A and B are shown apart, each in its own frame.
Chain A
Amino acid sequence: MKVIVIGNGMVGQKFCEKLIAKKPEQLELTVFGEETLPAYDRVHLSEYFAGKTVQDLCMKPMGWYPENGINLHLGDPIVEIDRSNKTVTSFDGKQLAYDYLVLATGSAAFVPSISGVDKQGVFVYRTIEDLNLIWRHAKVARSAVVIGGGLLGLEAAKACLDLGIKDTHVIEFAPRLMPRQIDEGGSYILSQKLKALGITTHTTKNTAVILGNETITGLMFADGSILSTDMLVISAGIKPRDELAKKCGLHTGHRGGIIVNEHMQTNDPSVYAIGECAVYEGMVYGLVAPGYDMAEVVVNKLIGGTKTFTGFDMSTKLKLIGIDVASFGDPFIADEDARSIIYHDNHNSVYKRINVSNDGKTLLGGILVGDAEAYNQLQQICVNKLAIPPSPVDLIVKRGKDGGTGTSFELPDSALICSCEGVSKLTISEAVNAGNESFDAVKKCTGAGSGCGGCTPMVKDIIAATLKKQGKIIRNVVCEHFNYSRQELYDLVKLKNLHSFDEVLDTLGSGDGCEVCRPAVSSILASLWNDLIIKKENATSQDTNDRFLANIQKGGTYSVVPRVPGGEITPDKLIAIGQVAKKYNLYTKITGGQRIDLFGAHLNDLPLIWEELIAAGFESGHAYGKALRTVKSCVGSTWCRFGLHDSVSFAIEIENRYKGLRAPHKIKSAVSGCIRECAEAQSKDFGIIATEKGWNLFVCGNGGSKPQHALLLAADVDSATCIKYIDRFLMFYIKTADPLTRTATWLNKMEGGIDYLRNVVLHDSLGIAAELEAEMQLLVDHYECEWKKAVETPELRKRFTHFINAPETKDPTIAFETLREQKKAAGW
């Protein structure tokens, strides 16, 4: 079978991909492309200016075509089709015969007939070559105008912003932006948001003349007004590329486009047309998803199938310069045919409209601007004609915490979930039933979620729902080796009195462990028994930081942090740190936790460094562990004229009590001597602030990527009570949190929140307070400095070598650079 494809755009490429996947016998597939580049992602064209390269944008690398037996001719357009002899002739004079011909010639930019479009500085926005021309001109342009306020026009305006043009204007002939997708209310919110980004929009504007001599200087509109500019990008729509088809007598629409039937066949049954050059039932589909669907239909037809194209849901959701815009179903239906519910929030710049049938039973369409989170759900309800709530407003306005837009609706099996790859709900649930139980597995198996990625949350929901139907309860299990949550594992390890990773694995798990369960189990063992973390049978189940009691850094050296309780340090100890740093050539930096970090230590030097630090009175700072890190303090009442209590003494007492305590994640703390809160205690896992009457105890705060303020757990308590509550709080956290979960996240997931936690800790609502205190006391009593033990035990000490067969040799590949009179790790 000889198949020739004319056009190597997104749809033409996808056709090839789909065809070769079917492995038809004796296929000879030849592709002619006009552009010199292989098919690239035109949808994300504007990202070219935001830093993406041509390679990033290419659908498949050049080598993909020959690897799959495709003869690709780029930069060589077909100039003639001879339908009676079934041959095509290229610009270079190649003449080839075909059994089937597929026209995927796409479209060109539609340029309205305005006088002056041939001036310099006037561009269209369609190909990478267009973008290169724009790029060159943009260097000298201070302002830009885009004609066309549709999808592509706004993309082009974004491209102008990305090129650094701060003054960008969009001209739209219609009374609103994106006239095919949104109404005037939505357009108003969109233009407000664009304005904030530096894009001025002008609607109901008809461009009359492009001003300037050789180069553009401005635009004059039909109403006589003038807008000065030194660059114009025309993006006013598309024009199907049907000139080849016309020339060989194929039927074309009166507004352009090659007329096709439901098999994408033209009036010549051996010639097909797909993508933006085709017109089906009077309509040109200017989106990529229907184009892919057309490609699928032709592939199916060529291998003898019966699939047909019956039109396509033109619902769209996109992020324009970070602004959500979506429309689905019939966005404009109104008056006698439907009732509209409109939510218009000028304050937060959000616009939502849904159109409901007059009987209030079905959703007919809608528009979302500024917040399109509900798009997937609404579009599915609309396409599948699902029942809607008695008060449809609940679909777009959230009431209370979890009220309103729940996702507990059941989709039919036929529901199209991934429109890029055309994957239905049934295909996904079948893939799950066949054993693909993770998102990645389903993606690989079905292709769902591999295009724009917009359907990812829905795919995940379907996976979870399918597994649930199989009777598999989705539990937060540790990994493939342990079918338990961390909390269950903690209880079982304690009950069965297990002390090593292999014991735990052989008793409670399966397989050989992995990088997820090893540290999780190690943390549980440490939290339960506080045995030496690097004893032989457990050492290799620690993350490298715990295994070598130091933090691995770029290049493979380690950093060393001695404990400085409360941040209080004597001059002698400061000198000792300085001497060690000098001797072992370490980079020194003060940390955020009021101690000193020494970077760039060779593995071999760690025991020597610690020998000296221990001799100077230091202990391990556990900076390498999921453990208590520091208790920061302000100077407090000993020096400060505002201080109420001695915050430093209390911080030292607390740090010494909990030092070495292993937990699901790191724990940080601070003590402030007054309400001025210089120690920033409210950003810590537990923080203490002095009051006139005692201490206020705050819990579950953290900095990091999602900062969260700590919440008040107990007010005006004395020191002993404060410590008692911290004992209970920390132990409860250690026993019940998931692996690598900070206290803030743990509390956020806790039903009942801080009130529940307060009842457990202060009022002993679970009756476990005494147990928690006893468990904590056991850990406190079992504390020993790991580094002291490691330095004093020859068996442990000899593990700190890089080469087992050359213990004196340091890793020769480690390299440093110099910065501000200290060393730094060489770059990756």
Chain B
Amino acid sequence: MTENNWIYACNVADMPHNGGVCVQYGTEQIALYYFTHRDEWYATQNLCPHRQQMALSRGMLGSSLGEPKVACPFHKKTFSLTDGHCMNDEACAAIKIYPVKIQDGAVFIDVASIYSSLITSYEQEKM
């Protein structure tokens, strides 16, 4: 098990309502969403896996049969905010999701798992 690694992203007051922003973490980009209508917070990778565009933070939020989702502004691929799978294209890869917490009006993202996919692929290469 990896330890948590909470990073400070921004203040709640800076966030748009029912929308996302992009957070820089080293060379990584994380999309952070404040879904006010559900009073929920989510974070995912900013890269849309469909055409490799850094765009999900600019996508529209919504729900389908209660499941919260984000739609990429490029070709409207929609991704579940709870498990990251693509909801309208089975062939499209899933996106990574990250835990979010709010403390004293500040927003934190747990980036502990951010490099895990990279590590896995590196290990596979060695095998």
B69 touches A514 (CB 8 A): yes
Q: Judge whether A512 and B17 touch: CB under 8 Å.
A: no
Are A552's CB and B63's CB within 8 A? Answer: no
Q: Chain A: interface secondary structure?
A: loop
Q: Which residues of B contact A814 (CB under 8 A)?
A: 54
Which of A501, A514, A519, A541 gathers most chain B CB within 10 Å? A514
**CB-based contact A541/B18 at 8 Å:** yes
Partner of B55, one of A481, A552, A803, A812: A552
A556 touches which one: B36, B54, B65 (CB < 8 A)?
A: B54
Q: Which of A501, A518, A544 contacts B58 (CB 8 A)?
A: A544
| B9 contacts partner chain A, Cβ-Cβ < 8 Å | yes
Bits for A501-535, please: 1 = Cβ < 8 Å to B, else 0.
11001000001111101110000000000000000
User: A548-564 interface mask toward B, CB cutoff 8 Å, 1 = contact, 0 = none?
Assistant: 10001011100000000
Judge whether A480 and B65 touch: CB under 8 Å: yes
Judged by a CB distance under 8 angstroms, whether A485 is at the interface is no
Is there contact, CB below 8 Å, between A512 and B62? yes
Is A720 at the interface (CB under 8 A from chain B)? no
Q: Which of B53, B62, B74 contacts A518 (CB 8 A)?
A: B62
A540-B64 CB under 8 A given contacts A505-B37, A805-B24: no
For B8, B18, B19, B52, the residue with the greatest tally of chain A CB atoms inside 10 Å of its CB is B18
* Interface membership of A276, Cβ < 8 A: no
Are B22 and A802 within 8 A (Cβ)?
yes
Known contacts A552-B73, A813-B29, A513 near B9 by CB under 8 Å? no
A828 to B58, CA, bound (A): 18
Contact between A480 and B64 (Cβ–Cβ < 8 Å)?
yes
Across-interface contacts of A766 in B (CB, < 8 A) = none
Q: Is the CB of A515 within 8 A of B76?
A: yes
CB neighbours of A805 from chain B (8 A): 8-10, 23-24
CB pair B55–A556 under 8 Å, yes or no, is yes
* Interchain nearest-CB distance for A595 vs B (Å): 23
Please report which residues of chain B, range 50-104, place their CB below 8 angstroms from some CB of chain A when the two chains form the complex: 51-55, 58-66, 68-69, 71, 73-74, 76, 78
Which residues of the other chain, B, contact A809 by a CB distance below 8 angstroms? 24
For chain A, the count of residues having a C-beta within 8 Å of the partner chain is 39
Q: Which residues of the other chain, B, contact A536 by a CB distance below 8 angstroms?
A: 16-17
Query: Residue B51 contacts which of A480, A806, A828 (CB distance < 8 angstroms)?
Result: A828
B14 touches A (CB below 8 Å):
yes
Q: Distance in Å from the Cβ of B36 to the closest Cβ of chain A?
A: 8
- Which interface residue of B32, B66, B74 has the most chain A CB atoms within 10 A? B74
| B41 interface contact, C-beta 8 A | no
Q: Is the CB of A804 within 8 A of B10?
A: yes
* Dominant secondary structure at the B interface: strand
- B43 touches A (CB below 8 Å): no
B38 at the interface (CB under 8 A from A): yes
Knowing A511-B63, A803-B24, the reply to whether A540 touches B29 (Cβ < 8 A) is no
B17 touches A515 (CB 8 A): no
A430 → B minimal CB distance (Å): 21
Q: A512-B37, A805-B23 are in contact. Are A543 and B66 (CB under 8 A)?
A: no
Chain B residue with Cβ nearest A440: B88
Q: Say yes or no for A537: interface residue by CB 8 A criterion.
A: yes
Interface presence of A330 (CB below 8 A): no
The answer to whether B9 and A556 have CB atoms under 8 Å apart is: no
B38 touches A512 (CB 8 A): yes
Q: Are B53 and A511 in contact (CB under 8 A)?
A: no
Contact of B60 with A541 in the complex, beta carbons under 8 Å: yes
Q: Could you mark each residue 776-806 of chain A with 1 if its beta carbon is under 8 Å from any beta carbon of chain B, else 0?
A: 0000000000000000000000010011111
List A604-651 residues whose CB lies under 8 Å from chain B. none
By beta carbon, the residue of chain B nearest A539 is B16
Are the CB atoms of A804 and B60 closer together than 8 Å? no
Chain B residue with minimal CB distance to A806? B24
Partner of B52, one of A512, A802, A828: A828
Sampled A-B contacts (24; CB under 8 Å): A480-B65, A481-B62, A501-B18, A505-B37, A513-B18, A513-B63, A514-B62, A514-B63, A514-B64, A514-B78, A515-B59, A515-B60, A539-B16, A540-B20, A543-B73, A544-B60, A548-B58, A554-B53, A556-B54, A556-B55, A805-B23, A811-B54, A813-B29, A828-B51
Interface residues of A (CB under 8 A from B): 480-481, 501-502, 505, 511-515, 517-519, 536-537, 539-541, 543-545, 547-548, 552, 554-556, 799, 802-806, 809, 811-814, 828
The 4 closest A-B pairs by CB, nearest first: A540-B19, A514-B62, A544-B73, A515-B71
Beyond contacts A540-B60, A803-B29: 8 other A-B pairs, Cβ-Cβ < 8 A, are A512-B62, A514-B69, A539-B16, A540-B16, A543-B73, A544-B73, A804-B9, A806-B24
Chain B residues near A (Cβ < 8 Å): 8-10, 14-24, 27, 29, 32, 35-38, 51-55, 58-66, 68-69, 71, 73-74, 76, 78
